[in-house]
């Protein structure tokens, strides 16, 4: 792979994602504007925080339309995955619209805390190259208060007071709601599998 673009959308996980990629032998190029996407063979959109602020920053950087037009594999991580969907209930904001569905707030209940923080099990729903090499129900590390719906593009779900999308893949667009950079072997494998997707 000649060039991996890592988008700086202000997420606190930018550094840890970069280190996780370095452990896989990949050096990512930090991108803060549309020009930085030129020549990229793969793009990763990490994110931590609120959807309205993240979309405001992407608009300010002139990245929204270029991301919508991308013709190379794109992986959203945590909030970055949520931004791939049509809208988020958080601030009722329009997102990138690359995947169908509305991201909604998780609902607390007896024994169900929001935010959802900690290790939880992935429940595979269909075959995907993103899950190759993983055990049947691997564990991953989550930190979030909003979740994307389960759709035909959901590769794996997670149950926290109800099912939400944990891994999604549709064409060149993919996402992980959990933090691969904090999910030990599960996270490293999913990052590697994304890097191996034909560009």
- Indicate which residue of 139, 170, 179, 185 is catalytic: 179
Q: What is the CA radius of gyration of the chain?
A: 15
For 155, residues 6+ apart whose C-beta sits below 8 A from its C-beta are 124, 125, 126, 128, 130, 131, 167, 168, 169
Give the integer Cα–Cα distance in Å for 148 and 136: 22
Check: CB of residue 112 under 8 Å from CB of residue 162.
no
User: CA of 141: how far to CAs of 126, 187, 195, in Å?
Assistant: 21, 9, 20
Check: CB of residue 54 under 8 Å from CB of residue 10.
yes
- Indicate which residue of 90, 153, 160, 181 is catalytic: 181
124 closest CA partner among 103, 108, 140, 144? 140
| Catalytic residue list contains 179 | yes
Give the integer Cα–Cα distance in Å for 73 and 78: 17
| Catalytic residue list contains 78 | yes
- Indicate which residue of 78, 95, 144, 173 is catalytic: 78
| Catalytic residue list contains 181 | yes
The backbone torsions φ and ψ at residue 145, rounded to the nearest 5 degrees and listed phi first, read: -115, -10
Give the integer Cα–Cα distance in Å for 163 and 123: 9
Active-site positions read 78, 179, 181
């Amino acid at each position: 792979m000649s060039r991996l673009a890592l988008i700086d959308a202000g997420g606190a996980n930018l550094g840890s994602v970069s280190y996780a990629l370095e452990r896989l032998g990949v050096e990512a190029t930090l991108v803060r504007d549309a020009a930085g996407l030129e020549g990229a063979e793969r793009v990763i959109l990490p994110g931590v925080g609120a959807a309205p602020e993240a979309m405001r920053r992407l608009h300010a950087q002139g990245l929204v339309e270029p991301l919508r037009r991308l013709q190379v594999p794109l992986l959203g991580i945590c909030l970055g995955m949520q931004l791939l969907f049509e809208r988020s209930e958080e601030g009722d904001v329009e997102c990138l619209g690359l995947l169908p569905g509305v991201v909604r707030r998780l609902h607390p209940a007896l024994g169900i805390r929001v935010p959802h923080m900690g290790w939880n099990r992935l429940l595979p729903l269909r075959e995907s190259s993103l899950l190759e090499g993983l055990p049947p129900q691997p564990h991953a590390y989550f930190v979030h208060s909003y979740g994307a719906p389960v759709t035909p593009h959901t590769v794996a779900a997670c149950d926290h007071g109800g099912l939400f999308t944990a891994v999604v893949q549709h064409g060149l667009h993919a996402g992980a709601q959990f933090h691969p950079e904090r999910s030990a072997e599960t996270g490293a494998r999913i990052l590697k599998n994304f890097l191996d997707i034909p560009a």
